[in-house]
Amino acid sequence: MGVEGSKEINDLQHRQENQIMSKRLIVMKFGGTSVGSAERFRQCAEIVAGAARHDRIVVVVSAVAGVTDLIFRTIDAARRGDSVATEANLKQFEFIHQQLLAELFDRKPGLPGSAYKAVQDFIADVFEQLRSSSRALLALHSDVSAQTHDLLAGLGERISACMLAHCIQRMGTTSEFVRAESMIVTDNNFGNAAPEMEATAAACKSILLPILERGAVPVVAGYSGATRDGQTTTLGRGGSDYSATIIGAASGADEVWIWTDVNGVLSADPRICPDATTLKEISFAEAIELAYYGAKVIHPKAAYPAMDAGVPVWIKNSFSPEAVGTKITQAAAPFASPVKAVTCVNHATLLTLVTGREVHSAELFGRLFLRMGQERIDTLFATQSSPEHALGLVLRREDGIRVLKLIQNIFRIELAQGVLNPVNVQDDIAVITVLGESMRGTPGIIGRVFSGVARENVSVIAVAQGASELSICFAVPSIHCADIVRSVHNEFCSQADFAVAACVQPGVPMASEVR
Ligand code: ADP
Ligand code: ASP
Ligand code: MG
């Protein structure tokens, strides 16, 4: 071929690349329920293949529903030396994925190059990693290090990403599996790592962009990342949402779409309030508050990278892709009701600390907050009563146990000398939160919230309103949680300008099961 000919080919290639790169870039994340079965995998692949006709798509995917819990149980059983439970869990892990493999890909054993063979080999490696690590833990009777835990915790995502990439490929759209560890650079806070955005942006540029330039869809395993020296980390439970917004922000995406099993962000958990309605738009600030106070639909930290980078996030239903979903954006459109949503954290603990009258309690409590900060423990809310020298800390149950240990540790002398009274622990409480930006400056909200509570004849244990007036939190006995959520939701959200009815998928447990 002459020089002219190769120049023409080069020009054509450049034009095609430019055309590809001028398309919108959308990061799509599919959650565990969206890939809960072979049929669901095909549905997700169809959504991606359809979208890839018009836009550049990067996919982030979770482990198959229940698989991460199963890995956690496997590690726990091995750590405890329970070989029967360990082996049973390993078997279940293999069974779930073998069954998907058989249902998704034509079984032509021994056929090199077939999708079946490629996925089979891939998952065999992952099985071996989980099996050998679990058996080593069993043999050593050792506790598991945070590093090893993270190395294993994200294995479900690795399999589902490989499977989904092959499913997309089968729809006629080129697709490539990408390891999470090569994309998201994090600190070394194993189990709850935070991204290093600059390094992640560089990784996105060097790994994702070339794949997109080739016109292919990269499929990234969610939930995991790696430290600069290559150690696998995880981003906290439910962290694949966070993976998606980190990658969205780092790659300069136009939008992030989080596909789940409900029509968007709803005015309440539909398992508690079947009449909850889909919110058309919420702000990043509202999403952060909502997630922090228990709405599982989005990871508590997932809104931050998108907010910082100004990338809108959509929550959409993979079971009904035609439904519009909820848009999470910088400034959401005005809303008719001051309260947009009611959320709950059903397993919380109230720790009450009371000091002697002669003590300056702020100094004592300050020491506790400092330690909690160092241990990265967050409160749900706190109340302080100066005349009573009392501090009330409302914490997630698992954090309550940790803080109690901290108190016994740092205040050993004060407790022995009676400077600090024995800590009062109230377990089995729920924190209910009502939130919405339009609550700010609107009088009468608290009155209406508590008339909803009073209708259930329940007494409130503690209450707090954030200075931003974005939310009001209060604690009640857990046993009344669902009833109070329904009553308060009814007070505000049934009369509001909520457009679309919630879509509860088959298999979503109803209120009585969530109590
Ligand atoms: P995924 O597997 O897609 O990550 P999750 O189970 O983590 O999905 O989150 C979706 C679930 O969040 C829904 O099935 C719903 O039960 C629950 N949820 C709780 N509160 C809300 C809310 N306010 N809006 C929507 N869903 C909610
Ligand atoms: N699979 C992980 C978990 O269950 C992450 C996720 O699903 O987002 O926590
Ligand atoms: Mg989730």
Nearest 5°: CA angle at 61, between 55 and 62? 160
* CB-count exposure of residue 378 (10 Å: 0-12, 13-18, 19+): exposed
Task: Name the E strands within 158-293.
Answer: 175-178, 217-221, 224-226, 232-234, 255-260, 277-278, 281-283
Is 238 a pocket residue for ligand 2 (Cβ < 6 Å)?
yes
Q: How far is CA 322 from the centre of its chain?
A: 23
Closest by Cα among 477, 197, 186 to 346: 477
| E strand or H helix at 21 | helix 3-21
30, 68, 269: which to mutate for ligand 1, most atoms within 8 A of CB?
269
The domain 341-493 having CATH identifier 3.30.56.10: the answer here is: no
Task: Name the E strands within 207-324.
Answer: 217-221, 224-226, 232-234, 255-260, 277-278, 281-283, 313-317
| E strand or H helix at 383 | strand 381-385
Q: What 3-state DSSP class applies to 187?
A: coil
| E strand or H helix at 343 | strand 341-354
Q: What is the mean pLDDT of residues 299-317?
A: 97
Query: Do residues 329 and 286 lie in contact, with contact meaning Cβ atoms separated by under 8 Å?
Result: no
Q: Decide if pLDDT at 503 tops 50.
A: no
The whole-number pLDDT of residue 409 equals 94
The whole-number pLDDT of residue 114 equals 85
The whole-number pLDDT of residue 496 equals 45
Q: What is the DSSP string of 64-99?
A: STTHHHHHHHHHHHHHTT-HHHHHHHHHHHHHHHHH
How far away, in angstroms, is 270 Cα from ligand 1 center?
Answer: 8
Q: What 3-state DSSP class applies to 304?
A: helix
Smallest-distance ligand from the CA of 224: 2
Is 157 a pocket residue for ligand 1 (Cβ < 6 Å)?
no
Is 297 a pocket residue for ligand 1 (Cβ < 6 Å)?
yes
**Torsion angle in degrees (nearest 10) through CA of 7, 11, 13, 14:** 130
How far away, in angstroms, is 296 Cα from ligand 1 center?
Answer: 5
- What is the DSSP secondary structure assignment for residue 500, as one 8-state letter? E
The whole-number pLDDT of residue 112 equals 62
d(CA 123, CA 159): 6
The pLDDT tens digits of the residues spanning 124-174 come to 999 999 999 999 999 988 789 999 999 999 999 999 999 999 999 999 999
Is 32 a pocket residue for ligand 1 (Cβ < 6 Å)?
yes
Is 312 a pocket residue for ligand 2 (Cβ < 6 Å)?
no
Is 57 a pocket residue for ligand 1 (Cβ < 6 Å)?
no
* CB-count exposure of residue 117 (10 Å: 0-12, 13-18, 19+): middle
Q: What is the mean pLDDT of residues 1-9?
A: 65
28, 62, 240, 262: which to mutate for ligand 1, most atoms within 8 A of CB?
262
The pLDDT tens digits of the residues spanning 251-299 come to 999 999 999 999 999 999 999 999 999 999 999 999 999 999 999 999 9
How far away, in angstroms, is 262 Cα from ligand 1 center?
Answer: 7
Q: What is the mean pLDDT of residues 431-451?
A: 90
Q: What is the DSSP string of 92-147?
A: HHHHHHHHHHHHHS---TT-TT-HHHHHHHHHHHHHHHHHHHHHHHHHHT-PPPHH
The whole-number pLDDT of residue 3 equals 59
* CATH (one of 3.40.1160.10, 2.40.50.140, 3.40.50.170, 3.30.2270.10) for 21-260: 3.40.1160.10
* CB-count exposure of residue 436 (10 Å: 0-12, 13-18, 19+): buried
What is the atom index within ligand 1 of the atom nearest the CA of 296? 12
pTM of this structure: 0.90
d(CA 15, CA 385): 68
Work out the pLDDT band at 360, boundaries 50, 70, 90: confident
Q: Where are the domains of the chain?
A: 21-260, 341-493
The pLDDT tens digits of the residues spanning 58-111 come to 999 999 999 999 999 999 999 999 999 999 999 999 999 999 999 999 776 556
Least confident of 162-171, 377-386, 464-473: 464-473
d(CA 336, CA 434): 15
Is 34 a pocket residue for ligand 2 (Cβ < 6 Å)?
no
| E strand or H helix at 29 | strand 25-30
